[in-house]
Structure 1
Protein backbone atom coordinates (compact mmCIF):
# COMPACT_ATOMS: atom_id res chain seq x y z
CA UNK A 1 0.00 0.00 0.00
CA UNK A 2 2.88 2.35 0.80
CA UNK A 3 4.46 1.65 -2.58
CA UNK A 4 1.12 2.31 -4.29
CA UNK A 5 0.79 5.65 -2.48
CA UNK A 6 4.33 6.66 -3.53
CA UNK A 7 3.63 5.72 -7.14
CA UNK A 8 0.36 7.69 -7.09
CA UNK A 9 2.10 10.74 -5.59
CA UNK A 10 4.82 10.51 -8.21
CA UNK A 11 2.25 10.38 -11.00
CA UNK A 12 0.43 13.35 -9.44
CA UNK A 13 3.62 15.44 -9.31
CA UNK A 14 4.29 14.59 -12.96
CA UNK A 15 0.80 15.72 -13.98
CA UNK A 16 1.18 18.93 -11.95
CA UNK A 17 4.42 19.72 -13.82
CA UNK A 18 2.69 19.06 -17.14
CA UNK A 19 -0.22 21.27 -16.07
CA UNK A 20 2.13 24.13 -15.15
CA UNK A 21 3.66 23.97 -18.63
CA UNK A 22 0.28 24.84 -20.10
CA UNK A 23 -0.12 28.03 -18.07
CA UNK A 24 0.67 31.31 -19.78
CA UNK A 25 2.55 33.45 -17.29
CA UNK A 26 2.26 37.05 -18.47
CA UNK A 27 3.66 40.25 -17.09
CA UNK A 28 1.37 43.00 -18.33
CA UNK A 29 2.70 46.51 -17.98
CA UNK A 30 0.30 49.32 -18.91
CA UNK A 31 1.07 53.02 -19.19
CA UNK A 32 -1.01 55.21 -16.91
CA UNK A 33 -3.40 56.43 -19.62
CA UNK A 34 -4.11 52.90 -20.84
CA UNK A 35 -4.57 51.64 -17.29
CA UNK A 36 -7.18 54.34 -16.68
CA UNK A 37 -8.93 53.55 -19.96
CA UNK A 38 -9.14 49.83 -19.14
CA UNK A 39 -10.58 50.79 -15.76
CA UNK A 40 -13.30 52.79 -17.51
CA UNK A 41 -13.96 49.87 -19.87
CA UNK A 42 -14.30 47.68 -16.78
CA UNK A 43 -16.83 50.17 -15.35
CA UNK A 44 -18.91 50.02 -18.54
CA UNK A 45 -18.72 46.21 -18.38
CA UNK A 46 -20.13 46.40 -14.83
CA UNK A 47 -23.19 48.15 -16.24
CA UNK A 48 -23.72 45.31 -18.72
CA UNK A 49 -23.24 42.76 -15.93
CA UNK A 50 -26.01 44.54 -14.00
CA UNK A 51 -28.47 44.24 -16.88
CA UNK A 52 -31.32 41.95 -15.90
CA UNK A 53 -30.81 39.66 -18.90
CA UNK A 54 -27.96 38.89 -21.29
CA UNK A 55 -28.39 36.25 -24.01
CA UNK A 56 -26.01 34.59 -26.40
CA UNK A 57 -27.70 34.58 -29.81
CA UNK A 58 -26.84 31.13 -31.13
CA UNK A 59 -28.79 31.17 -34.42
CA UNK A 60 -30.68 33.71 -36.52
CA UNK A 61 -32.48 32.63 -39.67
CA UNK A 62 -34.89 34.45 -41.97
CA UNK A 63 -38.41 33.02 -42.04
CA UNK A 64 -41.50 33.10 -44.24
CA UNK A 65 -43.71 35.59 -42.41
CA UNK A 66 -46.85 34.56 -44.27
CA UNK A 67 -46.39 30.84 -43.66
CA UNK A 68 -45.49 31.34 -40.01
CA UNK A 69 -48.28 33.92 -39.42
CA UNK A 70 -45.89 36.31 -37.70
CA UNK A 71 -44.50 39.84 -38.05
CA UNK A 72 -40.98 38.69 -37.19
CA UNK A 73 -38.31 38.77 -39.91
CA UNK A 74 -36.01 36.23 -38.29
CA UNK A 75 -36.26 33.17 -36.08
CA UNK A 76 -33.75 33.68 -33.30
CA UNK A 77 -32.50 31.09 -30.84
CA UNK A 78 -30.89 32.48 -27.72
CA UNK A 79 -29.50 31.22 -24.42
CA UNK A 80 -29.23 33.27 -21.26
CA UNK A 81 -25.59 33.57 -20.21
CA UNK A 82 -23.54 35.00 -17.37
CA UNK A 83 -21.07 37.87 -17.57
CA UNK A 84 -18.54 38.41 -14.81
CA UNK A 85 -14.93 39.24 -13.96
CA UNK A 86 -12.74 36.21 -13.49
CA UNK A 87 -9.19 34.91 -13.26
CA UNK A 88 -8.36 32.14 -15.70
CA UNK A 89 -6.35 29.11 -14.64
CA UNK A 90 -4.26 29.22 -17.83
CA UNK A 91 -3.47 32.96 -17.72
CA UNK A 92 -1.22 33.99 -14.86
CA UNK A 93 -1.39 37.78 -14.49
CA UNK A 94 -2.67 40.44 -12.11
CA UNK A 95 -5.69 41.40 -14.21
CA UNK A 96 -9.11 39.84 -13.99
CA UNK A 97 -10.63 39.21 -17.39
CA UNK A 98 -13.96 40.55 -18.56
CA UNK A 99 -15.56 37.15 -18.98
CA UNK A 100 -18.39 36.58 -21.47
CA UNK A 101 -19.92 33.12 -21.31
CA UNK A 102 -20.47 31.48 -24.70
CA UNK A 103 -23.40 29.07 -25.02
CA UNK A 104 -22.17 27.27 -28.13
CA UNK A 105 -18.40 27.73 -28.13
CA UNK A 106 -15.40 28.86 -26.15
CA UNK A 107 -15.92 31.49 -23.45
CA UNK A 108 -14.47 34.94 -24.16
CA UNK A 109 -12.02 36.54 -21.73
CA UNK A 110 -11.06 40.16 -22.46
CA UNK A 111 -7.63 41.17 -21.16
CA UNK A 112 -5.98 44.60 -21.67
CA UNK A 113 -4.29 43.58 -24.94
CA UNK A 114 -5.94 40.41 -26.19
CA UNK A 115 -8.96 38.12 -26.19
CA UNK A 116 -8.43 34.69 -24.68
CA UNK A 117 -10.96 32.15 -25.93
CA UNK A 118 -11.17 28.80 -24.18
CA UNK A 119 -13.21 25.67 -24.77
CA UNK A 120 -12.29 22.55 -22.82
CA UNK A 121 -8.62 21.80 -23.68
CA UNK A 122 -8.48 24.14 -26.68
CA UNK A 123 -7.79 27.88 -26.57
CA UNK A 124 -6.87 30.81 -28.80
CA UNK A 125 -5.42 34.30 -28.40
CA UNK A 126 -6.68 37.18 -30.55
CA UNK A 127 -5.12 40.63 -30.57
CA UNK A 128 -7.69 43.00 -29.09
CA UNK A 129 -7.03 45.46 -31.93
CA UNK A 130 -8.20 42.80 -34.40
CA UNK A 131 -11.63 42.55 -32.76
CA UNK A 132 -14.52 44.73 -33.92
CA UNK A 133 -17.58 45.37 -31.79
CA UNK A 134 -20.81 46.55 -33.45
CA UNK A 135 -23.93 47.78 -31.67
CA UNK A 136 -27.49 47.74 -33.00
CA UNK A 137 -30.92 48.15 -31.51
CA UNK A 138 -33.13 45.14 -32.14
CA UNK A 139 -36.89 44.79 -31.77
CA UNK A 140 -37.68 41.38 -30.35
CA UNK A 141 -41.08 39.71 -30.07
CA UNK A 142 -40.81 38.61 -26.44
CA UNK A 143 -42.68 35.43 -25.55
CA UNK A 144 -41.08 35.30 -22.09
CA UNK A 145 -41.28 37.82 -19.24
CA UNK A 146 -40.14 41.34 -20.14
CA UNK A 147 -37.01 42.45 -18.24
CA UNK A 148 -37.62 45.48 -16.03
CA UNK A 149 -34.75 47.43 -17.64
CA UNK A 150 -36.13 47.05 -21.19
CA UNK A 151 -38.59 49.16 -23.16
CA UNK A 152 -41.77 47.77 -24.70
CA UNK A 153 -42.15 49.70 -27.96
CA UNK A 154 -45.12 47.91 -29.52
CA UNK A 155 -47.34 44.84 -29.44
CA UNK A 156 -48.11 42.20 -32.02
CA UNK A 157 -50.28 39.10 -32.22
CA UNK A 158 -49.25 35.52 -31.64
CA UNK A 159 -50.76 34.78 -35.07
CA UNK A 160 -50.69 37.73 -37.48
CA UNK A 161 -51.79 38.56 -40.98
CA UNK A 162 -49.27 39.81 -43.52
CA UNK A 163 -50.05 43.43 -42.59
CA UNK A 164 -49.51 42.73 -38.90
CA UNK A 165 -53.19 42.70 -37.95
CA UNK A 166 -54.78 40.01 -35.81
CA UNK A 167 -55.51 36.73 -37.58
CA UNK A 168 -59.14 36.23 -36.54
CA UNK A 169 -59.15 32.58 -37.57
CA UNK A 170 -57.50 31.78 -34.23
CA UNK A 171 -59.95 32.27 -31.34
CA UNK A 172 -57.26 32.08 -28.67
CA UNK A 173 -54.97 34.60 -30.42
CA UNK A 174 -53.28 36.94 -27.97
CA UNK A 175 -51.00 40.00 -27.93
CA UNK A 176 -47.24 39.74 -27.46
CA UNK A 177 -44.98 42.66 -26.49
CA UNK A 178 -42.29 43.88 -28.87
CA UNK A 179 -39.25 44.79 -26.75
CA UNK A 180 -36.20 46.80 -27.73
CA UNK A 181 -32.85 45.27 -26.77
CA UNK A 182 -29.24 46.15 -27.44
CA UNK A 183 -27.21 43.76 -29.58
CA UNK A 184 -23.41 43.47 -29.50
CA UNK A 185 -21.65 41.69 -32.35
CA UNK A 186 -17.99 40.76 -31.75
CA UNK A 187 -16.06 39.69 -34.82
CA UNK A 188 -12.54 39.33 -36.20
CA UNK A 189 -10.91 38.28 -39.46
CA UNK A 190 -9.54 35.22 -37.66
CA UNK A 191 -13.05 33.83 -37.19
CA UNK A 192 -14.51 35.31 -34.01
CA UNK A 193 -18.26 35.76 -34.52
CA UNK A 194 -20.36 36.17 -31.38
CA UNK A 195 -23.62 38.05 -30.84
CA UNK A 196 -25.00 39.02 -27.43
CA UNK A 197 -28.41 40.52 -26.71
CA UNK A 198 -28.65 42.79 -23.64
CA UNK A 199 -31.90 43.79 -21.95
CA UNK A 200 -30.49 47.22 -21.01
CA UNK A 201 -29.67 48.64 -24.44
CA UNK A 202 -28.01 51.80 -23.06
CA UNK A 203 -25.44 49.79 -21.07
CA UNK A 204 -24.58 47.76 -24.18
CA UNK A 205 -24.16 50.93 -26.24
CA UNK A 206 -21.90 52.59 -23.64
CA UNK A 207 -19.75 49.45 -23.47
CA UNK A 208 -19.32 49.44 -27.27
CA UNK A 209 -18.38 53.15 -27.33
CA UNK A 210 -15.78 52.66 -24.58
CA UNK A 211 -14.42 49.55 -26.29
CA UNK A 212 -13.76 51.60 -29.43
CA UNK A 213 -12.13 54.38 -27.39
CA UNK A 214 -9.97 51.85 -25.60
CA UNK A 215 -8.81 50.37 -28.92
CA UNK A 216 -7.74 53.85 -30.08
CA UNK A 217 -5.73 54.43 -26.92
CA UNK A 218 -4.20 50.94 -27.12
CA UNK A 219 -3.19 51.48 -30.75
CA UNK A 220 -1.52 54.79 -29.96
CA UNK A 221 0.29 53.48 -26.88
CA UNK A 222 3.78 52.53 -28.14
CA UNK A 223 5.05 51.81 -24.62
CA UNK A 224 2.47 49.11 -23.89
CA UNK A 225 4.06 45.67 -23.65
CA UNK A 226 3.36 42.12 -22.58
Structure 2
Protein backbone atom coordinates (compact mmCIF):
# COMPACT_ATOMS: atom_id res chain seq x y z
CA UNK A 1 0.00 0.00 0.00
CA UNK A 2 1.18 3.51 -0.86
CA UNK A 3 -0.02 6.64 0.94
CA UNK A 4 -0.05 9.93 -0.96
CA UNK A 5 1.15 12.83 1.20
CA UNK A 6 1.35 16.57 1.48
CA UNK A 7 4.03 18.38 3.45
CA UNK A 8 2.96 21.78 4.79
CA UNK A 9 5.31 24.07 6.73
CA UNK A 10 6.14 27.76 6.42
CA UNK A 11 9.75 27.15 7.47
CA UNK A 12 11.78 26.16 4.35
CA UNK A 13 14.32 24.03 6.24
CA UNK A 14 11.63 22.16 8.18
CA UNK A 15 9.63 21.62 4.97
CA UNK A 16 12.70 20.30 3.16
CA UNK A 17 13.41 17.85 5.99
CA UNK A 18 9.88 16.43 5.97
CA UNK A 19 9.96 16.08 2.17
CA UNK A 20 13.30 14.26 2.40
CA UNK A 21 11.89 11.88 5.00
CA UNK A 22 8.80 11.22 2.86
CA UNK A 23 10.93 10.41 -0.20
CA UNK A 24 13.06 8.15 1.99
CA UNK A 25 10.02 6.08 3.06
CA UNK A 26 8.99 3.41 0.51
CA UNK A 27 5.25 3.45 1.27
CA UNK A 28 4.91 7.26 1.13
CA UNK A 29 4.50 9.28 -2.05
CA UNK A 30 4.95 13.06 -1.97
CA UNK A 31 2.04 14.67 -3.85
CA UNK A 32 2.85 18.28 -2.96
CA UNK A 33 4.78 20.62 -0.69
CA UNK A 34 3.45 23.96 0.53
CA UNK A 35 4.51 26.82 2.77
CA UNK A 36 0.89 27.89 3.24
CA UNK A 37 -2.11 25.98 4.59
CA UNK A 38 -4.35 27.90 2.16
CA UNK A 39 -2.31 26.63 -0.79
CA UNK A 40 -2.51 23.13 0.61
CA UNK A 41 -6.30 23.46 0.94
CA UNK A 42 -6.54 24.48 -2.74
CA UNK A 43 -4.54 21.38 -3.67
CA UNK A 44 -6.85 19.17 -1.60
CA UNK A 45 -9.94 20.49 -3.38
CA UNK A 46 -8.52 19.19 -6.65
CA UNK A 47 -6.33 16.27 -5.57
CA UNK A 48 -7.28 14.37 -2.39
CA UNK A 49 -4.43 12.72 -0.49
CA UNK A 50 -4.17 10.12 2.27
CA UNK A 51 -1.91 11.92 4.72
CA UNK A 52 -0.73 15.44 5.62
CA UNK A 53 2.39 16.30 7.59
CA UNK A 54 1.18 19.63 8.91
CA UNK A 55 2.88 22.44 10.82
CA UNK A 56 0.65 24.25 13.33
CA UNK A 57 1.88 27.84 13.56
CA UNK A 58 1.57 29.38 10.10
CA UNK A 59 0.36 32.76 8.78
CA UNK A 60 -3.11 33.20 7.23
CA UNK A 61 -4.40 29.77 8.28
CA UNK A 62 -2.95 27.66 11.08
CA UNK A 63 -2.53 23.89 10.88
CA UNK A 64 -5.25 23.32 13.48
CA UNK A 65 -7.63 25.58 11.54
CA UNK A 66 -6.95 23.59 8.37
CA UNK A 67 -7.64 20.37 10.28
CA UNK A 68 -10.99 21.75 11.43
CA UNK A 69 -11.92 22.77 7.86
CA UNK A 70 -11.12 19.30 6.56
CA UNK A 71 -13.06 17.61 9.36
CA UNK A 72 -16.19 19.68 8.61
CA UNK A 73 -16.23 18.49 5.01
CA UNK A 74 -16.41 14.73 5.56
CA UNK A 75 -15.78 13.85 9.21
CA UNK A 76 -13.49 10.85 9.44
CA UNK A 77 -13.27 10.53 5.64
CA UNK A 78 -10.61 13.09 4.75
CA UNK A 79 -6.83 12.81 4.89
CA UNK A 80 -5.25 11.81 8.18
CA UNK A 81 -3.00 14.37 9.82
CA UNK A 82 0.35 14.18 11.58
CA UNK A 83 1.16 17.51 13.20
CA UNK A 84 4.74 18.77 13.17
CA UNK A 85 5.50 21.63 15.53
CA UNK A 86 8.10 23.09 17.87
CA UNK A 87 5.50 23.77 20.56
CA UNK A 88 4.28 20.97 22.83
CA UNK A 89 1.34 23.00 24.19
CA UNK A 90 -0.65 22.06 21.09
CA UNK A 91 -0.52 18.31 21.81
CA UNK A 92 -3.96 18.11 23.45
CA UNK A 93 -5.57 20.21 20.74
CA UNK A 94 -4.02 17.96 18.11
CA UNK A 95 -5.41 14.95 19.92
CA UNK A 96 -8.88 16.47 20.00
CA UNK A 97 -8.66 17.06 16.26
CA UNK A 98 -8.13 13.32 15.83
CA UNK A 99 -4.56 13.64 14.57
CA UNK A 100 -2.76 10.35 14.04
CA UNK A 101 0.40 11.63 15.68
CA UNK A 102 2.24 14.70 16.89
CA UNK A 103 5.92 15.17 16.01
CA UNK A 104 7.77 17.66 18.17
CA UNK A 105 10.55 19.52 16.35
CA UNK A 106 13.37 18.79 16.02
CA UNK A 107 12.56 15.16 15.20
CA UNK A 108 14.69 12.53 13.49
CA UNK A 109 13.85 9.94 10.85
CA UNK A 110 13.21 7.20 13.42
CA UNK A 111 10.50 9.33 15.04
CA UNK A 112 9.12 10.28 11.63
CA UNK A 113 8.98 6.64 10.51
CA UNK A 114 7.20 5.61 13.70
CA UNK A 115 4.47 8.16 12.96
CA UNK A 116 4.31 7.15 9.29
CA UNK A 117 3.90 3.51 10.27
CA UNK A 118 0.89 4.49 12.38
CA UNK A 119 -0.64 6.09 9.31
CA UNK A 120 0.03 2.95 7.27
CA UNK A 121 -1.47 0.71 9.95
CA UNK A 122 -4.54 2.95 10.12
CA UNK A 123 -4.99 2.86 6.33
CA UNK A 124 -4.66 -0.92 6.24
CA UNK A 125 -7.17 -1.22 9.08
CA UNK A 126 -9.73 0.84 7.19
CA UNK A 127 -9.24 -0.96 3.90
CA UNK A 128 -12.07 -3.43 3.40
CA UNK A 129 -11.38 -6.79 1.76
CA UNK A 130 -13.01 -7.32 -1.62
CA UNK A 131 -14.70 -10.49 -0.40
CA UNK A 132 -15.38 -10.27 3.34
CA UNK A 133 -14.44 -13.37 5.26
CA UNK A 134 -17.36 -14.29 7.60
CA UNK A 135 -14.91 -15.46 10.26
CA UNK A 136 -13.08 -12.13 10.15
CA UNK A 137 -16.34 -10.18 10.32
CA UNK A 138 -17.44 -12.17 13.34
CA UNK A 139 -14.08 -11.56 15.04
CA UNK A 140 -14.30 -7.85 14.28
CA UNK A 141 -17.73 -7.68 15.94
CA UNK A 142 -16.18 -9.04 19.14
CA UNK A 143 -13.78 -6.10 19.45
CA UNK A 144 -13.84 -2.33 19.53
CA UNK A 145 -11.05 0.05 18.57
CA UNK A 146 -10.36 2.94 20.93
CA UNK A 147 -8.07 5.87 20.31
CA UNK A 148 -5.64 5.92 23.22
CA UNK A 149 -3.11 8.73 23.00
CA UNK A 150 -2.08 8.64 19.32
CA UNK A 151 -2.82 5.03 18.49
CA UNK A 152 -5.77 2.72 17.97
CA UNK A 153 -6.06 0.03 20.63
CA UNK A 154 -8.19 -3.06 20.12
CA UNK A 155 -10.30 -4.01 23.14
CA UNK A 156 -12.27 -7.24 23.39
CA UNK A 157 -15.93 -6.57 24.19
CA UNK A 158 -15.98 -9.51 26.58
CA UNK A 159 -13.22 -7.84 28.61
CA UNK A 160 -15.22 -4.67 29.31
CA UNK A 161 -16.86 -4.36 32.75
CA UNK A 162 -18.30 -0.86 32.46
CA UNK A 163 -17.55 2.50 30.89
CA UNK A 164 -17.48 5.78 32.75
CA UNK A 165 -17.98 9.09 30.98
CA UNK A 166 -15.97 12.13 32.02
CA UNK A 167 -16.04 15.61 30.47
CA UNK A 168 -14.03 14.98 27.29
CA UNK A 169 -12.95 11.39 27.92
CA UNK A 170 -14.25 7.95 28.77
CA UNK A 171 -12.74 5.46 31.18
CA UNK A 172 -13.12 1.88 29.99
CA UNK A 173 -12.85 -0.46 32.97
CA UNK A 174 -11.58 -3.91 32.02
CA UNK A 175 -11.73 -7.31 33.63
CA UNK A 176 -8.11 -8.01 32.72
CA UNK A 177 -6.55 -4.75 33.94
CA UNK A 178 -6.36 -2.92 37.24
CA UNK A 179 -6.31 0.50 35.57
CA UNK A 180 -8.96 1.68 33.09
CA UNK A 181 -8.19 2.70 29.51
CA UNK A 182 -8.58 6.45 28.97
CA UNK A 183 -9.86 7.48 25.52
CA UNK A 184 -10.75 10.91 24.15
CA UNK A 185 -14.32 10.38 22.96
CA UNK A 186 -17.84 10.98 24.23
CA UNK A 187 -19.94 8.38 26.01
CA UNK A 188 -22.65 8.84 23.38
CA UNK A 189 -20.25 8.19 20.50
CA UNK A 190 -18.99 5.04 22.19
CA UNK A 191 -22.52 3.89 23.00
CA UNK A 192 -23.35 3.94 19.28
CA UNK A 193 -20.48 1.56 18.56
CA UNK A 194 -21.43 -1.02 21.19
CA UNK A 195 -23.92 -3.85 20.54
CA UNK A 196 -27.19 -3.11 22.37
CA UNK A 197 -27.67 -6.76 23.27
CA UNK A 198 -24.45 -6.71 25.32
CA UNK A 199 -24.27 -3.18 26.72
CA UNK A 200 -26.72 -0.72 28.26
CA UNK A 201 -26.48 2.89 29.25
CA UNK A 202 -28.04 3.23 32.71
CA UNK A 203 -26.83 6.70 33.63
CA UNK A 204 -25.63 9.81 31.83
CA UNK A 205 -22.13 8.83 33.02
CA UNK A 206 -22.20 5.02 32.79
CA UNK A 207 -22.57 2.18 30.30
CA UNK A 208 -22.47 -1.34 31.73
CA UNK A 209 -21.74 -4.75 30.24
CA UNK A 210 -24.92 -6.73 30.88
CA UNK A 211 -23.17 -10.06 31.37
CA UNK A 212 -20.90 -8.57 34.05
CA UNK A 213 -23.76 -7.47 36.34
CA UNK A 214 -23.65 -9.47 39.56
CA UNK A 215 -26.70 -8.05 41.33
CA UNK A 216 -29.42 -5.46 40.69
CA UNK A 217 -31.90 -3.27 42.53
CA UNK A 218 -34.42 -0.79 41.17
CA UNK A 219 -31.87 1.97 41.61
CA UNK A 220 -28.48 0.39 40.88
CA UNK A 221 -26.39 -2.48 39.56
CA UNK A 222 -23.29 -4.00 41.04
CA UNK A 223 -20.26 -5.04 38.99
CA UNK A 224 -17.50 -6.48 41.13
CA UNK A 225 -17.14 -4.10 44.10
CA UNK A 226 -18.59 -1.11 42.24
CA UNK A 227 -22.19 0.02 42.74
CA UNK A 228 -23.44 1.96 39.71
CA UNK A 229 -26.62 4.09 39.94
CA UNK A 230 -29.48 3.98 37.47
CA UNK A 231 -30.72 7.48 36.61
CA UNK A 232 -34.37 8.37 35.93
CA UNK A 233 -33.60 9.09 32.28
CA UNK A 234 -32.78 5.42 31.67
CA UNK A 235 -35.20 3.80 34.14
CA UNK A 236 -37.72 2.58 31.56
CA UNK A 237 -35.15 0.70 29.50
CA UNK A 238 -33.50 -0.64 32.64
CA UNK A 239 -36.81 -1.88 34.08
CA UNK A 240 -37.39 -3.93 30.93
CA UNK A 241 -34.02 -5.53 31.48
CA UNK A 242 -34.73 -5.94 35.19
CA UNK A 243 -37.96 -7.82 34.46
CA UNK A 244 -35.84 -10.67 33.10
CA UNK A 245 -34.15 -10.98 36.47
CA UNK A 246 -37.38 -11.28 38.46
Q: TM-score normalised to the size of structure 2? A: 0.24
In terms of Rg, which structure is larger?
1
Structure with more of its chain in strand, by fraction: 1
The answer to which structure, 1 or 2, has the higher relative contact order (CA under 8 A, 6+ apart) is 1
Structure with more of its chain in helix, by fraction: 2
Q: TM-score normalised to the size of structure 1? A: 0.26
